[in-house]
């Protein structure tokens, strides 16, 4: 019996980080907490007002298109999508229907259908009446700060085959949008909203799809997709049918539930907005692919391959891509190493293992280090330099690093004041070991008589005398050599 194969297509909305709204000069500020302050007659749809296209928003979407290797539109226009809802002051949403700004392209090997530009709706806040058990009698208030904020919608082809692949795509898009400065793309803040379309089928023909909404995190999205694949497979195996519908994700029950059944597609009576000009982008040099390409920063995939080419481990590379603070720190450290691979790799090992552990050990810093790194890249680099020049042992390096993270002290100063500099060429260690042997003749005799533990004791005494500056293995070798010579 063949298996049911899942198919997933994503629709992802992202609020663009522009100074002003999509069609007026009201501020676009996602962090504004006072309701209804960033509004004006245009985004409140007063009669007689006229919208103006935000060039920054258009450019932002086109840059995303270039980064995805997509085709930019020669010609584009904005359409009215008509429907009634209290969060939509005009009674229609300005969106793009026939002529999206961007078509095609791919991310993580997933084909993209289109990216278009539209405006966000206001946010509705529902409050329940605490005096009634049903919550009935509460009110809904509307905050129009979000009404008219530029919104980019990206639609993928139905070519994703697992929840993990869907999650990876959305995470990679978030990273790209942040890298480009197009959107802050925080899922929890609603700056990025993912809708997943899921179907399962056995043959080449795609099955009936279900659309899942209310996904506030990547985890929730992955769980919802997994749940839906199982639910649909079980239905079909029982000989039942999948109903085309919109479902929500219930976080507490970890299951999807019916929101509404689709009765044919809603008639939005799309038509080109008569108040806005159409755009002939091919006639505007500042929107040309060539100009936009020059404005792109290093893209995530380029940054990844740069790290890998330097010899950085794959998992460390992903850590720097995922954690902006650690990524910026790593950049700061390797900038001084000028492509010296062995130092870069050494630094990466100490960041991904020792430094991350130190930051996590200190509970207060567990969340803090994302905002505030307790050691400077310069100081960290000094530890790596001393280590790679063998001026200090790896054991000393760990201690110095811990001290510098805790107190902010200069690692060279710590090494000096704590006598952790590995004395050069081993000659000074030799003096230490000689003195250990000289002051412990009975232990030396024990070792000669076959007591192996005696050697460890002697090494331990020398370790103490060098305050950990020397590697135990170096001291053990020297001890053996000098006992033999004596
Ligand atoms: P609709 O007309 O219902 O909006 P679209 O064809 O525009 O459907 O597709 C919307 C989204 O659903 C896209 O992301 C697309 O990849 C996805 N999709 C379409 N058909 C399927 C299917 N059978 N299974 C899973 N996803 C699908
Ligand atoms: Mg559609």
Would you place residue 203 in the very low, low, confident or very high pLDDT band (cuts 50, 70, 90)? confident
Q: Is the pLDDT of residue 145 over 90?
A: yes
Report strand pairing: 255-261 vs 245-250. antiparallel
Sorting pLDDT into bands at 50, 70 and 90, what band is 391? confident
- Give the model's pLDDT for residue 362: 65
Is residue 396 within a helix (H) or strand (E), and if so which, with residue range?
A: helix 394-407
Exposed, middle or buried, 351 (CB in 10 Å: 0-12/13-18/19+)?
Answer: buried
> What is the CA(113)–ligand 2 centre distance, in A?
10
**What is the 183 CA–ligand 1 centroid distance (Å)?**
24
Which atom of ligand 1 is nearest the CA belonging to 155? 14
The pLDDT assigned to 418 comes to: 83
Burial class (CB in 10 A: 0-12, 13-18, 19+), 22: buried
Q: Partners of 480 in the beta sheet?
A: none
Q: State the burial class of residue 482 (Cβ atoms within 10 Å of its Cβ: 0-12, 13-18, 19+).
A: middle
Taking residues 153-173, report their average pLDDT: 98
**Cα separation of 66 and 87, whole Å?**
33
Mutate to test the pocket of ligand 1, among 6, 9, 199, 232 (most ligand atoms within 8 A of CB): 9
Residue 366, pLDDT above cutoff 60: no
Whether the per-residue pLDDT at 370 is higher than 60: the answer is no
Provide the pLDDT confidence category of residue 198 given band limits of 50, 70 and 90. Answer: very high
Taking the CA of residue 143 as centre, how many other CA atoms within 13 Å lie in the half-sphere pointing to its CB? 16
List, chain by chain if needed, residues with CB within 6 Å of any ligand 1 atom.
7-11, 155-158, 197-199, 206-207, 209, 265
3-state secondary structure 425-445: HHHHHHHHHHHHHHHCHHHHH
Which SS3 state, helix, strand or coil, does residue 233 take?
helix
- Stretch 467-481: mean pLDDT: 82
Q: Considering only 87-91, 291-295, 327-331, 367-371, which range has the smallest mean pLDDT?
A: 367-371
Please state the rounded mean pLDDT for residues 74-97. Answer: 96
155-165: buried (b, 16+ CB within 10 Å) or exposed (e) per residue?
A: bbebebeebeb
The mean pLDDT of the chain is 92
pLDDT band at 2; cut points 50, 70, 90: confident
Nearest-CA residue for atom 7 of ligand 1: 155
The β-bridge partners of 95 are: 79
Predicted pLDDT at 372:
74
At residue 42, the pLDDT reads 98
- How many whole angstroms separate alpha carbon 139 and alpha carbon 201? 44
Instruction: State whether residue 171 is helix, strand or coil.
Output: helix
- Backbone dihedral angles phi then psi of residue 357, each to the nearest 5 degrees: -65, -40
What is the number of the ligand 1 atom nearest to the C-alpha of 11?
14
Of 359 and 109, more confident: 109
Question: For the chain, what percent of residues have pLDDT higher than 70?
Answer: 95
Q: Record the tokens describing residue 367, joined without a space.
A: 């969340």
Percentage helix, strand, coil for the chain under 3-state DSSP, each rounded to 5: 45, 20, 40
pLDDT at residue number 478: 87
- pLDDT-derived band of residue 364, with 50, 70 and 90 as boundaries? low
Ligand 1: centre distance to CA 256 (Å): 18
Going by pLDDT thresholds of 50, 70 and 90, the confidence category of residue 425 is: very low
- Choose among 312, 379, 391: nearest CA to 344: 312
C-alpha 95 – ligand 2 centre gap (Å): 13
Q: Are 156 and 150 in contact (CB under 8 A)?
A: no
**Which ligand has an atom closest to residue 262 CA?**
1
pLDDT, mean of residues 141-158: 98
Per-residue confidence (pLDDT) for residue 28, from 0 to 100: 98
pLDDT greater than 70 at residue 127: yes
Q: What are the two backbone dihedrals, phi and then psi, of residue 423, each rounded to the nearest 5 degrees?
A: -70, 145
CB 214 within 8 A of CB 248: yes
Classified as helix, coil or strand, 320 is helix
Please tell me the residue having the least CA distance from ligand 1 atom 1: 265
Q: Is the pLDDT of residue 338 over 80?
A: yes
pLDDT number for residue 143: 97
Percent of all residues in the chain with a pLDDT value above 90, rounded to a whole number: 77
Average pLDDT over residues 20-38: 97
Q: From the CA of 8, how far away is ligand 1's center (Å)? A: 8
Ligand 1 pocket test: which of 197, 221, 242 has the largest number of ligand atoms within 8 Å of its C-beta?
197
Closest CA to 154 of 77, 101, 211: 101
Neighbours of 154 (CB within 10 A): 28
Collapsing DSSP to helix, strand or coil, 211 comes out as strand
Give the distance (Å) from ligand 2 centre to CA of residue 143.
27
Distance 160 CA to ligand 1 centre (A): 11
Q: What pLDDT, on the 0 to 100 scale, is given for residue 100? A: 98
How far, in Å, is the centroid of ligand 1 from the Cα of 211?
8
Check whether 84 has a pLDDT greater than 60: yes
pLDDT value at position 389? 86
Note the ligand closest to the C-alpha atom of 245. Answer: 1
Cβ–Cβ < 8 Å for 150, 12: no
The confidence score (pLDDT) of residue 101 equals 98
Task: State the Cα torsion 396-401-402-405 to the nearest 10°.
Answer: 160
Smallest CA separation from ligand 1 atom 17, residue: 9
**pLDDT, position 427:** 52
How large is the average pLDDT for residues 455-483? 86
Q: In whole angstroms, what is the distance from residue 14 CA to residue 186 CA?
A: 9
For the cut 50, the answer to whether the pLDDT of residue 58 exceeds it is yes
Q: Please, are residues 75 and 43 in contact by the beta-carbon 8 Å criterion?
A: no
Ligand nearest to the CA of 209: 1
């Amino acid at each position: 019996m063949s298996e049911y194969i899942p198919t997933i297509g994503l629709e992802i909305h992202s609020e663009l980080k522009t100074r002003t709204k999509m069609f007026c000069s009201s501020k676009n500020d996602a962090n504004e907490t006072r309701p209804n302050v960033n509004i004006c007659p245009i985004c409140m749809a007063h009669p007689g007002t006229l919208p103006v296209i935000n060039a920054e928003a258009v450019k932002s979407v086109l840059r995303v298109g270039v980064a995805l290797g997509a085709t930019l539109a020669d010609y584009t226009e904005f359409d009215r999508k008509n429907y009634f809802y209290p969060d939509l002051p005009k009674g229609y949403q300005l969106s793009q229907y026939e002529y999206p700004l961007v078509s095609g392209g791919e991310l993580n090997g997933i084909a993209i259908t289109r990216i278009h530009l539209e405006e966000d709706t206001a946010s509705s806040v529902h409050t329940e009446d605490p005096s009634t058990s049903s919550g009935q009698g509460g009110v809904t208030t509307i905050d129009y700060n979000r009404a008219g904020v530029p919104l980019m919608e990206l639609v993928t082809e139905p070519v994703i085959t697992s929840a993990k692949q869907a999650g990876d795509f959305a995470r990679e898009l978030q990273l790209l949008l942040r890298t480009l400065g197009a959107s802050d793309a925080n899922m929890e803040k609603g700056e990025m909203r993912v809708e997943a379309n899921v179907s399962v089928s056995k043959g080449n023909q795609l099955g009936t799809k279900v659309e899942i909404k209310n996904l506030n995190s990547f985890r929730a999205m992955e769980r919802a997709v997994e749940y839906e694949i199982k639910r649909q497979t079980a239905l079909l195996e029982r000989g039942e049918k999948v109903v085309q519908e919109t479902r929500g994700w219930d976080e507490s029950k970890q299951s999807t539930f019916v929101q509404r059944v689709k009765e044919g597609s809603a008639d939005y009576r799309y038509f080109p907005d008569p108040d806005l000009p159409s755009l002939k982008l091919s006639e505007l040099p500042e929107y040309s692919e060539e100009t936009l390409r020059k404005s792109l920063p290093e893209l995530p995939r380029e940054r990844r391959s740069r790290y890998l080419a330097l010899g950085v481990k794959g998992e460390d590379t992903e850590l720097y891509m995922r954690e902006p603070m650690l990524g910026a720190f790593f950049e700061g450290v390797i900038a001084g190493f000028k492509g010296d691979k062995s130092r870069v790799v050494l630094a990466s090992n100490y960041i991904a293992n020792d430094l991350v552990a130190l930051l996590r050990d200190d509970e207060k810093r567990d969340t803090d280090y994302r905002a505030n790194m307790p050691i400077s890249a310069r100081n960290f680099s000094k530890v790596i330099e001393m280590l790679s020049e063998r001026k200090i042992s790896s054991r000393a390096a760990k201690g110095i690093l811990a001290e510098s993270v805790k107190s902010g002290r200069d690692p060279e100063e710590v090494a000096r004041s704590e006598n952790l500099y590995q004395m050069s060429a081993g000659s000074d260690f030799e003096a230490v070991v000689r003195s250990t042997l000289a002051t412990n003749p009975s232990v030396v005799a024990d070792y000669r008589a076959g007591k192996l533990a005696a050697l460890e004791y002697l090494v331990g005494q020398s370790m103490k005398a060098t305050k950990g500056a020397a590697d135990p293995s170096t001291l053990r070798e020297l001890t053996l050599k000098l006992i033999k010579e004596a």
